[in-house]
Amino acid sequence: MSTQTQTLTDQLLHLLSSRYGAPQDTTVDTSFDLLDFDSLVLVEVAVALSSRYDIHVTDDELRDAGNIAGTVALLEAKGVRA
């Protein structure tokens, strides 16, 4: 994993734990379903990511990404650099 990817990963882990109650032992492979992130939480996360990185992210894209690793890949595909 590159330093850039690691930084995005760390940012997402921090966001999900501090604002959305993800446990501290959440890993990049922990599914959003396992975290009990319902559609409302995914909408809120999508809005937060869109605002933070100045891109458009939807809750459907997050649902398809499935976890933090998938979300990092999604953000990188949209040109986000940490």
Res 5: pLDDT: 63
Q: Return the domain boundaries, the chain.
A: 3-77
Closest CA to 52 of 82, 22, 13: 82
Look up residue 80 and give its DSSP letter.
-
Q: Are 39 and 60 in contact (CB under 8 A)?
A: no
Blockwise average pLDDT, block size 10, the chain, 82 residues: 72 95 95 95 97 97 97 97 80
Query: What does pTM read for this prediction?
Result: 0.89
Q: Which amino acid is at 78?
A: K
Task: Looking at 1-82, list the stretches that DSSP marks H as alpha helix, in order from N- to C-terminal side.
Answer: 3-20, 39-53, 59-65, 68-77
Res 81: pLDDT: 86
CATH superfamily of 3-77: ACP-like (1.10.1200.10)
